[in-house]
Amino acid sequence: MDAAHRTPDVPLLFVDGTRVRKSPYWEATERSGCLSYDIYNHMYIPGWYTDPLDEYWHLINHVTLWDVAVERCLEVTGADAHTFTNMLTPRDLNACAVGQGKYVVLCDERGGIINDPVLLRLGENQYWMALADSDALLWAKGVALGSDLEVEVREADAWPLQLQGPKAKDVMAALVGDEILGVRYYWTLQTKIDGIPVVISRTGWSGEQGFEIYLRDDPGRGVELWERIMQAGKPFDIHPTGPCDRRRMEAGIFNYGGDMTLENNPFEVTGLERLVEEQEADYIGKGALERIRREGVARKLVGIEIGSGPITVDCQDFWPVRKDGRQVGKVTNAVHSPRLERNIGYAWLPIELAEVGTKIDVEAPFGSATATVVPMPFFDPKKEVPKA
């Protein structure tokens, strides 16, 4: 979900016409001084307002508000909605209670990853899936058309914001009361903020304490909701920012389309193996994924530390990875973590080089550097911070 971290001397460009949509919070982000936008799910997503490094530290120490309405929600309803949604993912949704959320993958018949949304079960037969940048909605509509199930698949009238940082709970309590303090990690609350209907989930793309606030039904109240949150957050030094690439990487969170694509399956991505749950129910790609589970994989997306001075350039292209002079893989993204005081990244490697401790060479724009395969996440591996 990462928006481009352009430097201040790069001009801001907009696409003409109406084919790229603006979020319900567009006017508010403009008034707040957004300096960079990217395009994601056919919409504009704010990148940064002041400086990406300043915004990183503010996220870690205070609280930040992100316009992530680009997380378009695939909604499934109807008498067979549970059966149908359970068919889309290798996670066992029979273990997902009403009001609960799950991080899931949607896979094709070969086990390829179509998307990795946060799924919310809002009713017995009502699901939302907040999509990464892809055309997964069209894929799901095609699956529904070819099934005999009674379902409706559409884009929900839901427009998420993210409130992220250690003071996020304080802001939420000021908005909706102490009831929010009882919402567990990956659970939800359906309520109103000053009469504005919202769904609140205790989730986020930062690895910090956080919430996603889904404006529902009336996008015309987006600016009103934004301003109400900013008002409640003023005593806690709230700042509007974009999604934070450094922090999501510290947390071992992936960016679909960059770190992984349809050509990859969950067993190839470190940490996503757990999303393929053994179950009796059938789902799309089950045969392929169970075969991959038995036979293993030939490559793996792993965490690396790059031994050089602090990385100051964006990973706009894949950086080649070499071993003994031969190209063996690629770096999908790399950043300098100010808190960890080291360079961290993700790299695709042959399985025989994916063991922790393996040394490789990375060809970056600043020159060649030695890197080491390390465990992920790089920070807070037990997710104690967001669960606190």
Task: Measure the CA–CA gap between 246 and 130, rounded to whole angstroms.
Answer: 22
| Predicted confidence band of residue 1 (pLDDT cuts 50, 70, 90) | low
% of the chain exceeding 70 in pLDDT: 96
Looking at residue 132, its pLDDT comes to 98
Phi/psi region, residue 106 (left: phi>0; alpha: psi -120 to 50; beta: rest), is beta
pLDDT at 233 over 50: yes
Per the listing, tokens 């499934």 go with 76
Task: Measure the CA–CA gap between 302 and 293, rounded to whole angstroms.
Answer: 18
Long-range Cβ pairs for the range 40-45 (8 Å, 24+)? 40/1, 40/3, 40/70, 40/133, 41/70, 41/71, 41/72, 41/131, 41/133, 41/134, 43/69, 43/70, 43/72, 44/14, 44/20, 44/70, 45/1, 45/3, 45/70, 45/242, 45/243
Task: Measure the CA–CA gap between 124 and 292, rounded to whole angstroms.
Answer: 32
pLDDT at 12 over 90: no
Looking at residue 170, its pLDDT comes to 98
pTM of the prediction?
0.95
Q: Give the mean pLDDT of 85-107.
A: 98
Q: Is there a contact between 275 and 267 (Cβ–Cβ < 8 Å)? A: no
Q: Report residue 113 as tokens.
A: 């990853």
Task: State the average pLDDT for the chain.
Answer: 95
pLDDT at 14 over 90: no
| Predicted confidence band of residue 13 (pLDDT cuts 50, 70, 90) | low
> Which among 54, 95, 79 has a CA at the least distance from the CA of 104?
95
pLDDT at 334 over 90: yes
- CB count within 10 Å of CB 12 equals 11
pLDDT at 115 over 50: yes
| Predicted confidence band of residue 15 (pLDDT cuts 50, 70, 90) | low
Give 303-329 pLDDT, tens digit per residue: 999 998 999 999 999 999 999 999 999
Question: pLDDT: is 356 or 17 the higher one?
Answer: 356
Phi/psi region, residue 108 (left: phi>0; alpha: psi -120 to 50; beta: rest), is beta
Q: Give the mean pLDDT of 141-163.
A: 97
| Predicted confidence band of residue 9 (pLDDT cuts 50, 70, 90) | very low
pLDDT at 65 over 50: yes
Q: Give the mean pLDDT of 114-123.
A: 98
Looking at residue 17, its pLDDT comes to 79
Q: Give the mean pLDDT of 182-210.
A: 98
Task: Measure the CA–CA gap between 191 and 197, rounded to whole angstroms.
Answer: 6
pLDDT at 8 over 90: no
Task: Measure the CA–CA gap between 24 and 336, rounded to whole angstroms.
Answer: 33
Taken in order of first residue, the domains within the chain and their CATH numbers are: 1-251 (3.30.1360.120), 252-379 (2.40.30.110)
